[in-house]
Amino acid sequence: MSAHQEKVCENNIGNLDVYKSYKKSPYLSFKHSSYFQVYADLFEKYKDKYITFVEIGVLNGGSLFMWRDYFGPNARIIGVDFNPLAKKWESEGFEIHIGSQSDSIFWERFFNAVGPVDIVLDDGGHTFEQQIITVHNCIPNINDEGLIVVEDTHTSYFKSFGYPSKYSFIEWTKKLIDNINSRFPSVKVSVLQYNKYIYSITAFESIISFKINRKKCFENESTSNDGITSNAADFRYEGSKIANINIFEQRISKILNWLKYISIIKLIKNKLFESVKILLTKKELIKLKRFF
């Protein structure tokens, strides 16, 4: 057994259907070994379904055959590449579109021609611009319960691609995490509009997957099951300095109520205590520094 085969056994990828399809493909394809488990986790439920699957990056055609074998005959497999020679794979029954993934006009024409799709896998040029423009343009054209999966996101850490940069793909993904959290009513840290489409973001080593589902992207609100309460105290701040401040605040509130003070004083008191608690919280957070 070769050293490569031994690694395949050791990592348990040899038994994955997607790896078998990769090995079966008659044409050359290069994929990193950790990707097969991720493909299996993300794509399993789409097998044998009537899906439209798009891969950006055709090169020697090997992955087109792999995807056809893996997803089965019901899947429509579309390849995108900047290299016009990729057109030759049309004779094998694949749909091929030639253009640059960093060109928004290309994407407009592409989706006008092919319609909405279920999965987009970006294995193209892997620059930050290509990755960001691709995700930006594909998201509105992906069906609910579909995915856009970006490979080789390790380029965000490569000096040759511009690392360190606040405009890397991974830095942008962090902004999108802020954006989906901005569906929570009091969190308005991001005004980007992706959170109307992206239900969840999953980060793997070298791969980011965005799950699209417009119906699951609603504004969050509190609910109650109207069950019986035991009026249990919330111990969130128990043992911290904030617990003492809370007790002190309750006493002041009682006195203010008793003296029937006008609401402006209550308002000032609330603001004052809020500021003190924020300051204290920030001070206490410094002890988390060791986790960062």
Ligand X SMILES: C[S@@+](CC[C@H](N)C(=O)[O-])C[C@H]1O[C@@H](n2cnc3c(N)ncnc32)[C@H](O)[C@@H]1O
- CB 143, min distance to ligand X, A: 22
Contacts of ligand X in 71-130 (CB under 6 A): 80-83, 100-102, 123-125, 130
Cβ 272 to ligand X shortest distance, Å:
56
* String marking each residue 270-289 x if it binds ligand X according to CB under 6 A: --------------------
| Rounded distance between C-alpha atoms, residue 264 and residue 276, angstroms | 18
Nearest distance, CB of residue 27 and ligand X, angstroms: 8
Residue pair 218/183 in contact (Cβ under 8 Å)? The answer is yes
Closer residue to ligand X in complex, CB, 55/118: 55
Question: Quick one: which of 18, 51, 56, 170 contacts ligand X (CB under 6 A)?
Answer: 56
Candidate list 17, 20, 31, 144; residue touching ligand X; CB under 6 A: 31
Site string for ligand X, 10-29 (x = CB under 6 A): -------------------x
The answer to whether the beta carbons of residues 157 and 171 sit under 8 Å apart is no
| Tokens at 63, concatenated | 């992955």
Question: Cα(16)–Cα(287) distance, rounded to whole angstroms?
Answer: 44
Closest alpha carbon to 81 in 66, 68, 94, 91: 94
Question: Which of 43, 180 has the CB closer to ligand X?
Answer: 43
Which of 21, 52, 63, 195: binder of ligand X (CB under 6 A)?
63
Which region, judged by CB under 6 A, interacts with ligand X, from 56-64, 173-181, 194-202, 247-255? 56-64
Site size with ligand X, rule: CB under 6 A: 22
101 versus 155: smaller Cβ distance to ligand X: 101
Secondary structure string (H, E, C) spanning 112-163:
HHHCCEEEEEECCCCCHHHHHHHHHHHHHHEEEEEEEEEECHHHHHCHHHCC
132-171 residues in contact with ligand X (CB under 6 A) are: none
Q: Distance between the two ends of the chain, CA-based, in angstroms?
A: 42
Number of neighbouring beta carbons within 10 Å of residue 133:
18
* Helices 263-285 & 241-258 angle (0-180, nearest 10): 180
Q: Which of 57, 77, 146, 208: binder of ligand X (CB under 6 A)? A: 57
Whether the Cβ atoms of residue 21 and residue 70 lie closer than 8 Å to each other: yes
Q: Which is nearer to ligand X, 101 or 195 (CB)?
A: 101
Considering only residues 62, 72, 140, 162, which one is a binding residue for ligand X as defined by CB under 6 A?
A: 62
CB of 123 to ligand X, least distance (A): 4
Written as six digits, the tokens of 14 are: 């040899």
Nearer to ligand X, 117 or 180 (CB): 117
The answer to whether residues 153 and 170 touch, using CB atoms and an 8 Å cutoff, is yes
- Interface ranges with ligand X (CB under 6 A): 29-31, 55-60, 62-63, 80-83, 100-102, 123-125, 130
